[in-house]
A = this chain, B = another copy of it.
Amino acid sequence: LRTGMPEVIFASGKTIEHVTAIFVRMAQAGGNVLATRVSPECAQAVLAAEPRAVHHVTARCITLEQAVPPQGKGTVAVVCAGTSDLAVAEEAAVTARLMGNTVELIADVGVAGIHRLLAQRGSLQSARVLIVCAGMEGALPTVVGGLVNAPVIAVPTSIGYGASFGGLAALLGMLNTCSPNVCVVNIDNGFGAACIATLINRM
């Protein structure tokens, strides 16, 4: 899987010093570098040490682009239901772009207002792979899956309250999908969704 993929740091649970040191070392190796789940403080430290890096605030990611990855053949659509799921959707979008994909982000479409979603049918159907992120709108991947002929990667998010149980409700809803072109990754795993989408988009 390594060919043409960036080096990746999962920053959550690591000290700022540790993340900075790994980032700098990876940057010196000459390839692209991605850090995910980066706190604002950590981002500041990394950018101080490696000024060429870019901080994607909503995505909580830092990227360093210094190499050209293999290019995806089509567009990866990243879909989410509202501003609350945007962090996960942006993690997916930033990751997919760094991995050589053209990304179209379609935010603020949900199943409770199906017309806004249907209005995006053109964009959805022209994508080669789709990533759909949702916390309270656990059915969004199923509805999108019914509108397109391409593979859909569903990302449950931990956004919600009460009986959302940290993303469990969305996860179960997505696994029980009736659209047979939908598969699922871990709660909040925008990064992983982008990896699979990249592999598919290169085929």
| Residues A135-150 near B (CB distance < 8 A) | 136-140, 142-143, 145-147, 149-150
Name the contact of A178 in the complex, choosing from B137, B172, B178 (C-beta under 8 A). Answer: B137
B3 touches A139 (CB 8 A): no
In the complex, what residue of chain B is closest to A22 when comparing beta carbons?
B83
Q: Complex: how many Å from CA A177 to CA B111?
A: 9
Report A126 CB to chain B, min CB distance, Å: 15
Q: How many residues of A contact B (CB 8 A)?
A: 70
Across the interface, which residues of B come within 8 angstroms of A176, CB to CB? Answer: 136, 138, 160, 162-164, 169-170, 186
Q: Is A26 an interface residue (CB 8 A)?
A: no
B173 touches A138 (CB 8 A): yes
In the complex, what residue of chain B is closest to A185 when comparing beta carbons?
B183
Report A192 CB to chain B, min CB distance, Å: 5
Q: Which of A151, A159, A175, A182 has the most CB of B within 10 A?
A: A175
In the complex, what residue of chain B is closest to A143 when comparing beta carbons?
B111
Across the interface, which residues of B come within 8 angstroms of A128, CB to CB? Answer: 203
Enumerate chain A interface residues (CB-CB to B < 8 A): 1, 3, 12-14, 18, 81, 83-84, 110-114, 118, 128, 136-140, 142-143, 145-147, 149-151, 153, 156, 158-173, 175-189, 191-193, 195-196, 199-200, 203
Q: List 10 A-B contacts (CB under 8 A).
A: A1-B179, A13-B159, A111-B143, A138-B173, A158-B162, A162-B175, A164-B172, A165-B172, A169-B169, A181-B195
